[in-house]
Amino acid sequence: MERVEELSVHEYAAMRRRGEAHELVDVRTPAELALARLDGGRLLDDELGEELGAMPRETTLVFLCHHGVRSHAAARAFAARGFARVYNLTGGIDRWSREVDPSVPRY
């Protein structure tokens, strides 16, 4: 059974401050990405999907979208592929902007 853990924006900010290795996977559309982005986030497209698929299953994956719904679905798909450390950023980039970094535009 696939397992996805919810990661609060504050927990994720702490993870970034600690320099923990992870892949930040953004499942929003290119248009949404143009409006607001988190440094280090990579748009999930076919190329990134293949790259992630070739990574060790111990790789930490953090998924985000606007509010956390689409990213949870994508995270489940990667957990089902055998990834053991899969996180969904609860509240997405919107909550990140409201609670951690107000310089990230809201839309």
65 in active site: yes
Question: How far apart are alpha carbons 73 and 51 in whole angstroms?
Answer: 19
Question: How far apart are alpha carbons 83 and 74 in whole angstroms?
Answer: 12
CB 20 within 8 A of CB 60: yes
Choose, from 4, 7, 9, 65, the residue flagged as catalytic: 65
Strand (E) positions, the chain? 5-7, 23-26, 42-43, 60-64, 85-89
Residues labelled as active-site residues: 65
